[in-house]
Chains A and B, each alone.
Chain A
Amino acid sequence: MSEEMNTPQEVVTTHEVHHDEHHVHHHKETFITKYIFSQDHKTIGKQFLITGIIWAIIGGLFSVLFRLQLGYPDQHFPILETFFGHWAKGGQIQPEFYYALITMHGTVLVFFVLTAGLSGTFANLLIPLQIGARDMAAPLLNMLSYWFFFMASVVMVSSLFISTGPAAGGWTVYPPLSALGQASEGSKLGMDLWIVSMALFVVSSLLGGLNYISTILNMRTKGMSMTRLPLTIWALFFTAILGVLSFPVLLSGLILLLFDRNLGTSFYLSDIVVNGQVLPNEGGSAILFQHLFWFLGHPEVYIIILPAMGIASEILSVNSRKPIFGYMAMVGSLFAITVLAFLVWAHHMFVTGLNPFLGSIFVLLTLLIAVPSAIKVFNWLTTLWRGNIRFFPSTLFAIGFVSLFISGGLTGIFLGNSTIDIHLHDTMFIVAHFHIVMGVAGMFGMFAGIYHWFPKMFGRYLNSTLGYIHFWVTMIGAYLIFWPMHYEGLAGMPRRYLDKSSWVSFSQFADLDRMITIVSILVFAVQLMFVFNFFYSIFKGRKVTSQNPWGSNTLEWTTPIRPGHGNWEGEIPEVHRWAYDYGKDGREFIPQVEPIGANESTH
C-alpha cells in the first residue's frame, strides 16, 4: 500500500497528510472482534477508559450523596427515599447506607477508576505506540486483562443491588468488622462479593502488568534505547512493577479473610464479642491484615500517581515547547519512589500499637519520599520556566496536577511524622491530604492525558471551550472542597462519622460543610459536562486533519490519523534521538524519527 511512506529516514512533520481516506481496513473483522473481543491494544485502552468513566460517574455520585448528609445532617430529602427506599428512610441517609457509600466511593475511585481506568487506559494506548511496536507482547493476555476487569466490575455492581447492600467497612476492609457478617449488614454477602471482585481485579491487573513490563523491555523499535523512552513509558513501566509485586500480597490477605469469613478460621479474629455473643475465635491478629493490606495499599497510591506524573511530564514538555528538564533525574526519582513505595506501608499504622522504634524507621523512610518528589516538582517547574507555553486544556490540567501534587504532598510531611499523626490520624486532615495529592491529582493527570491523546484515540478533538470550563471549575472546586478539610481535621473532626452535629466543638464547621457540599455538587455537574463532551466528540467532534496536531516528537504521531491494528502501515519507524528535542537549534520540534544532523548540537 504505502510502502514509499514512512521509511525510517522520512521526516514526518506537521504538514497535512491525509491518511483518512485510505486508512488500513480490516478484512473479515466483525463488530465483535473489532470492538468487543478485540486484541488491538488501542481498542482495549478505550474499553478501559470508557468502563473507567462509567465507574467514575457511579463513584462520584456516591460522594455527592454522602456529602448531602455531611452538609445537611438535619435536612430531609424525600427524593432520596423515592430512589433508595429504606436505605434513606424519611429522606435521610441511614448509617448503613452512609458507610456503604463511603466504602464504595473509595473502592471504586481507587481501584476501578484510578488504577484500571488510568494505567489501564494509557498503558494500553501508549506503550506500543510510543515505543514503536505493533501491539503488546501478548495481545491475548491483554484482552483477558480487560475482561477480568469487566467481570470484577460486574461482580462489584451486582453487590450494589443485593438486599444487604455492598461492603461497608471502609475501602480498607479491616477485620474484624469485615470478617463478621453478624457485625454489620455490609459485612454479609456484600463483603464476599467485594473480595471476589477484587480477586478478579488483581488477576486483571497482573495480566496487564506482565504485558506492560514485557512489552517495554522486549518490543522497542530499532534505536529506541531505554534512555530514549518518553517519560510516560518510564512511569507506566514502574507502575506495572509496583502492581505486579504488590497486588499478589493483597490477594493473599484477602484469601485469609475469605477463610475467616466462611470457613471458621481465626487468622484475624481473637476474643470478640458481637451483640453480647462471645465468638469462639482465638489467636488471630487483626493487625496482620493491616500489614498485608498496606503492603499493597501504599504502593497502590503510587500506582495511581506515577502514570499521572508521566503524562504530566510529557504534556508539559510538549506544550511549553521545551525539553523536559532533568530527564535522567526524572527517571531516577521515579525509580526511587518505586523502591521507597515498598518500604513505607507501616506509616498507615502508627497508632495500631506499632513499636515506636519501628515507627521511627518508617517515619524516616516516609520523609525520604519528599526528596524524589521534590526533584520531580522542581523539574516540572523548570520545564515550564520561560517556555512558550500553549495553554490547551491538557496543559492546564497538567499544571493543575503539579499544583495539587505540591499542596497535597506538603501535608504528607505532617502525616508522615508519627507524633503528629497521633493527633491527625482518622480526621478530615487525612481525607484532605490523600484526595488532593492522589485522588484529584490522579484525576487531573487522567484528564490531561485524555485531552492530549483524544485525537489519537478517536481522530477528533474534544471541545476546548468546554475543556476550559471543565478545568477552571474543577481546579477551583477541588481546592474549595478539600482545602477547608485541613482545618476541620486539625480541630480534630473525625472522618467516617455520619453526623457530627452533637459535638459542640464542631458546630463551627456546619456552614463550611454546607459550602463543601454545594461545591461538590457543582463540580460533579461539570464532570458530567466533560462526559458529555467526551461522548459527543467521539462522533461529532472536530476532525483531526494533520498527522501530528500538537507538534510532538513521540512516535504515536507518526502513525496514520486513525491507525489500524498494527499501528504503522509500512515498516515501524526507526528512532534516532530522545523524545524531548523541543526548541533546539532554532527548530520548534524535532521528531524522534529524524536522524541526527551533521551539524547538530548535542543535548
Chain B
Amino acid sequence: MVSDIKLKKFQNSLPSGGAQRKKLHPHKFTLWVAIGSILMMFAGLTSAFIVKSNQTNWKTVAMPKVFWISTAVLLLSSLMIQMALRSFKNREMNQYRLLIGLTLALGIAFVFLQWIGFQQLWDQKVTFTGSGAGQFLYVIFGLHALHVTGGIIALLVMFVKAFIGKTKLYSSVPVQVAATYWHFVDLLWLYLLIFFMIIGK
C-alpha cells in the first residue's frame, strides 16, 4: 500500500537508473549554499568596514593578545573534528565519542576566550561609543561567535546522540556536514582576524 510508505523511503526510491550522476548529498549541498549565504553577510560587514575606514574620525583598535589563543584553540578543534570524522568512518566509536567531546570543549573554550577578549577591549575604553574599528570588531566577532555557538549546539546534539542514541549510526553524512561547517567557521575566523590585522590598523 502506498499509504504505508514513509517519506524517507520515497526519497530513497528516487530513480536510481544509471543515468543519474553521482551527486553531492543534498544536505551537504544545502550546507554549501548556506555557507555562501553566511559569507555574503560577513562580506557586507567587512565591506562596510572598508568604506568607513576611509572616512574621517576613524579610530583603530589594538587587538587583545587573547585572540591569538582563541585562534589556536579553534584551529585545534578543527583538527579534532577531522579526526573524529575519520574514526567515525572507521567505526571506532569510542575514539569518535572522545574526539567529538574534545571538539565540543574546544569550541566552548573559543567562545569563552572571545568573551574575555571583549572584556579586555572594554577595559581599554573601547566601548560602543564612536564608530571606529572597535565597534565593528564587537559586531563582526560577535556575529562570528554566534555562528560558532550554532555549531556548538549541533555538536552537543551529536555528542549526546553518540552516547544515548538507540539507533545505530551508520551514515557519516551528519558528521561530514558538521565537520564542514566547523572548518568553515574556523576559516571564517582566520579571514576576519587577518582582515582586522591588515585593514583595521
Contacts and interface: CB of A to CB of B under 8 A. Distances in A.
Interface of A: 1-2, 24-27, 39, 133-135, 137-139, 141, 206, 209-211, 213-215, 217-219, 221-223, 244-249, 251-253, 255-256, 259, 263-267, 269-270, 280-285, 288, 291-292, 295, 564-566, 569-572, 574
Contact of B24 (A209, A218, A280, A564): A218
A247 B43 CA distance: 12
B52 interface: yes
Nearest to B129: A264
B134 to A, nearest CB: 10
Contacts of B15: 221-222, 571-572, 574
B38 interface: yes
A141 to B, nearest CB: 8
B181 to A, nearest CB: 13
A214 B7 contact: no
Chief secondary structure at chain A's binding surface: loop
A284 B37 contact: no
B135 A265 contact: yes
A234 B128 CA distance: 45
A135 B7 contact: yes
Contact of B7 (A139, A222, A244, A267): A139
A265 B128 contact: yes
Contacts of B1: 1
B30 to A, nearest CB: 4
B48 A292 contact: yes
12 contacts: A2-B2, A219-B26, A222-B19, A246-B40, A252-B41, A264-B129, A265-B128, A270-B131, A282-B131, A283-B57, A283-B131, A288-B51
A206 B131 contact: no
Interface in B53-72: 55-59
Closest 8 CB pairs of A and B: A222-B15, A248-B41, A283-B57, A249-B44, A266-B131, A283-B131, A134-B10, A252-B44
Interface in B2-54: 2-5, 7, 10-11, 13-15, 17, 19-20, 23-24, 26-27, 29-30, 33-34, 36-38, 40-45, 48, 51-52
Given A210-B30, A211-B30, A248-B44, A284 B131 contact: yes
B130 A24 contact: no
A255 B143 contact: yes
Contacts of A251: 41
B199 interface: no
Contact of B11 (A39, A134, A245): A134
Nearest to A289: B48
Contacts of A292: 44, 48
Interface residues of B, number: 49
B26 A218 contact: yes
Given A214-B30, A263-B128, A291 B7 contact: no
A252 B29 CA distance: 24
B178 to A, nearest CB: 15
A285 B132 CA distance: 12
B40 A218 contact: no
B139 interface: yes
Contacts of B143: 252, 255
Given A218-B24, A245-B40, A252 B45 contact: yes
B2 A249 contact: no
A285 B52 contact: yes
Contacts of B59: 283
A252 B48 contact: yes
